[in-house]
Amino acid sequence: MGALMNSILGVLAVILATLYQSNVHFALYTGVRLFYGIGHTLEPLSAFPSYKCRRIEDERLQACEDMWLSEATRQLFLACSETKGRQQWSPNGGIFNASGRSLTDHIAVLDIDEPEGVDGAGFRTRVLETPGYPGTHGDGTLNLVGMSGYDDGADGEVRLWLIDVKPSVDLATGRVIEDQTVMRGNQTVEVFKLVGGRGATTLEHLESFWDPLIMTPNRVAAVGDDTNAFWITNDLGHSQSRWKRRLSPFFSQGSVAYCSSGSNKSDGSQACHAAIPSGLSWPNGLVHNHHDGLLYVPSSMVGTVDIYEPVKNGSVSTMKKVDTIDVGYSIDNLMVDKDGDVWAAVFPSVTKLGKAFDDPYGVHHVPAAAMRIRKGPGGGYEVEKVLEDGFGEVLPMTTSVVHDATTGRLFFGSEFPPSCIFGSSHVQPPD
Ligand SMILES: *[C@@H]1O[C@H](CO)[C@@H](O)[C@H](O)[C@H]1NC(C)=O
Ligand SMILES: *[C@@H]1O[C@H](CO)[C@@H](O)[C@H](O)[C@H]1NC(C)=O
Ligand SMILES: *[C@@H]1O[C@H](CO)[C@@H](O)[C@H](O)[C@H]1NC(C)=O
Ligand SMILES: *[C@@H]1O[C@H](CO)[C@@H](O)[C@H](O)[C@H]1NC(C)=O
C-alpha cells in the first residue's frame, strides 16, 4: 500500500492542488498530514510498561496480514502469505506477475491458551488443510488478503470468509491467462467451515462468491446468517476504469458491497449490491460489531472510522451513517473484542511504510500502534492509544491487532515478516 500511495501522491499532488473541490482538498490535505505523521509524537514501547512484547518466531507465521479470534474456541486464525510472492502478485497494488505468486498461502491457527516453547514464548500452532478447495483451476492454492470469521455456536462451529485474489484462468484450456492486467485476476470470497471445532486441522469449502462488485477487495465482515452474507470493502472502488480506481482515494470512490447467496445473477456470479456505492477514501479493514449491530468502516487516507447501521430491505442491505470518529492516524484493520470494544492497527508514520514495501526483508523500524475505540459514559466515542512502538523496536509493520479481553493480551499481525507478536500485559490489563 505504501509504495502505491507514494507514487500516487508524488504524481498527482500538483494536479490535484489545482482542483478546489472541497472533498479532494480534504483527502489530499489529510492524506499528506497522515502520510508524514504530522502532529503525532512517537512514543517508545517503554512508555507502556504494563506491556511486555515478544516475537513468536515460526516460519509458518510469515506475512500474516489479517487475523480473527474465535472467542468460543480460543483459537486465533491468521491469513498468512509469503512476502516474495506478494511482491509479484498483488492485484490491488496493480502487480500482476501470476507466475511469481505465492503457492503456499495458508490459514494458521494458534491455540492462545496453550503456550509452547521456551518460557511459553509461542503457542500450539498448526496450518489448516483445505481438501476439496479447487484454488486456481484445481491447484488448491489460495492467495490471501483479508479474512473474517463467525462463531456459530458454543460447540465450536466456526465459519471463515477468506478473500482469495487468484489469477484468472482461460476456462477453455484451464491455463492461467498470460496477461492478467485486463481481468485483474479473479477476486473471490471463499467461505469455509471448520471441521471439528477446537483443535481442528481441516477447513471444508462451503461456497465461492464472485461478482463485479468484488473489484478491489480489502476485508470482509461476516453477517453470521445462513446465507453466508458479508460486507466487503473495495479500497479503490469498483469502477471498471483503471484511472478512476487509481484516483479513487482522492475522489473518495471507495465502496462497500453486500453479498449473500441464494439469488444468483444470470452469469452465475453471486448477488452482490453496493451497500455504500462510494464516498470512502481508501476504506480498509471493516468490521461488524455483533455487540451493537453496527458496521465500522475505517478510511486509511483520512484517518476516520465511519459507523453505519445496516438497514435490511428484502435481500438488500443499505447503510445509515450514524457517526464518524476521527482517529487521526492512517488505519489498517479493525477488530472487535469480547466486550464490544473496537481495536485499530494504525500507522503513526506512513512514510516509513514505503521502505518496508520496497525492501520487505530489510530492517526499517516502522512505527506501529494499537488504538481502542469504545463508547464512553457520556455516549460519545473515546479513542485511546493503548500501545505504541514509535521507533519500531519490537513490533512489525503492524496491519492488524487482536485484543484478547479475557487475558488482556494483544496479538499483532503484519503483512511482512516477522509476523506475529505477542504483547502480554503483566500488570493489570488496562480498563
Ligand atoms: C515473474 O515471476 C517469475 C517467478 O518468480 C520471475 O522469474 C520473473 O522474472 C517475474 N517477471 C517479472 C516481469 O518480474
Ligand atoms: C474465478 O473463480 C471462481 C471460483 O473459484 C471459478 O469458479 C471461476 O471459474 C474463476 N474464473 C476465472 C475466469 O478464473
Ligand atoms: C448459486 O451459485 C453457486 C455457485 O455456482 C451454487 O453453488 C448455488 O447453488 C447457486 N444458488 C442458486 C440459488 O442458484
Ligand atoms: C425497499 O426496496 C423497495 C424495492 O427496491 C423500494 O421500493 C422501497 O422504497 C425500499 N424501502 C425502503 C424503506 O427503503
Q: What is the pLDDT of residues 137-149, one digit of tens each?
A: 899 999 999 999 9
Q: Does 345 or 36 have the greater pLDDT score? A: 345
Ligand 2 shell residues, CB under 6 Å: 134, 168-169, 171, 186, 188, 208, 210
- CA of 392 from ligand 2 middle (Å) equals 40
Is the pLDDT at 201 greater than 80? The verdict is: yes
The pLDDT of residue 429 is: 45
Strand order in the sheet with 158-166: 144-151, 158-166, 186-195, 202-209
- CA of 85 from ligand 1 middle (Å) equals 10
Given pLDDT bands bounded at 50, 70 and 90, which one contains residue 411?
A: very high
- CA of 147 from ligand 4 middle (Å) equals 31
Given pLDDT bands bounded at 50, 70 and 90, which one contains residue 122?
A: confident
For the stretch 323-352, what's the b/e string if a residue is b when 16 or more beta carbons lie within 10 angstroms of its beta carbon?
Answer: eebebbbbbbbbbbbeeebbbbbbbbbbeb
* Least distant ligand from the CA of 164: 2
Q: Does 255 or 426 have the greater pLDDT score? A: 255
Q: Which range, 1-10, 26-35, 228-237, has the best average confidence (pLDDT)?
A: 228-237
Name residues whose C-beta falls within 8 Å of residue 72's C-beta, 6 or more positions apart in sequence: 151, 153, 154, 156, 158
Asked whether 264 lines ligand 3 (CB < 6 A), one says yes
Averaged pLDDT, 203-223: 95
Q: Which residue shows C-alpha cell 492524506?
A: 31
* Least distant ligand from the CA of 96: 1
Given pLDDT bands bounded at 50, 70 and 90, which one contains residue 25?
A: low
Alpha helical stretches, state H, 182-322: 242-251
Counting ligand 3 atoms within 8 A of each CB, the residue from 260, 261, 267, 272 with the most, and so the one to mutate, is 261
State how far the Cα of 89 lies from the Cα of 83, in Å rounded to an integer: 10
- CA of 24 from ligand 4 middle (Å) equals 32
Asked whether 120 lines ligand 1 (CB < 6 A), one says no
The pLDDT of residue 430 is: 45
Given pLDDT bands bounded at 50, 70 and 90, which one contains residue 23?
A: low
Task: Quote the mean pLDDT of the chain.
Answer: 87
Instruction: Go through the domains of the chain in sequence order and give each one's CATH number.
Output: 2-425 (2.120.10.30)
Q: What is the pLDDT of residues 334-360, one digit of tens each?
A: 999 999 999 999 999 888 777 777 787
Residue 84 CA: nearest ligand 1 atom is 5
* Least distant ligand from the CA of 268: 3
Residue nearest to atom 7 of ligand 2 (CA): 208
The pLDDT of residue 93 is: 86
* Least distant ligand from the CA of 188: 2
- CA of 241 from ligand 4 middle (Å) equals 30
The pLDDT of residue 14 is: 43
